[in-house]
Homo-oligomer: A and B are copies of this chain.
Amino acid sequence: MLTRKQHELLRFIQTRLDETGISPSFEEMKDALDLKSKSGVHRLISALEERGFIRRLPNRARALEVLRRADEGGQTTAPAANSNVVPFARPEAAAPAPAADVIEIPLHGRIAAGVPIEALEDQAILPVPAALLGAGEHYALEVSGDSMIEAGILDGDFALVKRTEIANDGEIVVALVRGEEATLKYLRRENGMIRLDPANAAYEPQIYAADEIKVQGKLAGLLRRYFH
């Protein structure tokens, strides 16, 4: 149904939409596919549209919409966005071939440790029941500190985080502060500012300018281990 390049582009658009909610521009798609001209992207977009995988508004910037998803290899079939999702080709089992209902996600280190997440190399891999997660890309962090203790999140727990830059008020997010420090906190917006609320009366809410905070994911699950 789709050529290699078309499929690659469709998958890029999907994840971009899932994670940021903002359509990529032709320029961005060009870079993502490692092309040097936008016209190639234009042809691929036209092909995808012709085949009914995406919809678009002509002459409008960043106005793409995915109608049929390319199947996420290895991931849970995304029930997510569109109700008229038609699961597409199921690629032959992704390389690591985990059990059907288990997803393997990278463990990126500890959070609230003063280090941006991206900087950490991931070595450990944590298998997680698929039922615990929704669609999308996830990763795990070990929680450090007791700032979220009243939300039932304890020191040493493993937070399962869905990678996204989108979050609603009141959700627990991984927030990167001034590109330096990653924390797990309740997110709340107040007239242009962003407030990070801990769940511990001993800590104070912190207020930042919107451009000081980058949301890197939202809390999707939690694992805890009691060692006896």
Verify if A149 is at the interface (C-beta below 8 Å from B). Answer: yes
Chain B nearest CB: distance from A71 CB in Å? 6
Contact with B along A16-59 (1 / 0, CB 8 A): 01111111000000011010000000000001001100000100
Verify if A3 is at the interface (C-beta below 8 Å from B). Answer: yes
Chain B nearest CB: distance from A94 CB in Å? 10
Choose among B4, B51, B90 the residue that contacts A101 (Cβ–Cβ < 8 A).
Answer: B90
- How many copies the complex holds: the figure is 2
**Cα(A88)–Cα(B128), bound, Å:** 13
**Cα(A226)–Cα(B222), bound, Å:** 8
Interface residues of A in 1-21 (CB under 8 A from B): 1-4, 7, 11, 14-15, 17-21
Which of A114-122, A166-174, A175-183 interfaces with chain B?
Answer: A166-174
Choose among B1, B220, B223 the residue that contacts A63 (Cβ–Cβ < 8 A).
Answer: B1
Contact with B along A187-228 (1 / 0, CB 8 A): 001011000000000000000000000000011111111111
Choose among B21, B61, B100, B189 the residue that contacts A7 (Cβ–Cβ < 8 A).
Answer: B21
What residues of B have a CB within 8 angstroms of the CB of A104 in the complex?
99
Q: Are A87 and B131 in contact (CB under 8 A)?
A: yes
Interface of chain A, helix or strand or loop or mixed?
loop
Q: Are B72 and A80 in contact (CB under 8 A)?
A: yes
**Cα(A98)–Cα(B102), bound, Å:** 8
Verify if A74 is at the interface (C-beta below 8 Å from B). Answer: yes
Given contacts A98-B102, A220-B225, 11 further A-B contacts (CB under 8 A): A3-B23, A7-B20, A15-B189, A31-B191, A47-B60, A74-B80, A96-B99, A99-B99, A133-B225, A134-B227, A218-B226
List 24 A–B pairs whose Cβ atoms lie within 8 Å, in order of A's numbering: A1-B65, A2-B23, A2-B62, A2-B63, A4-B62, A15-B169, A31-B191, A34-B192, A47-B60, A72-B81, A72-B166, A74-B80, A75-B82, A88-B129, A88-B131, A101-B127, A102-B127, A126-B131, A127-B129, A129-B223, A220-B225, A220-B228, A222-B223, A222-B226
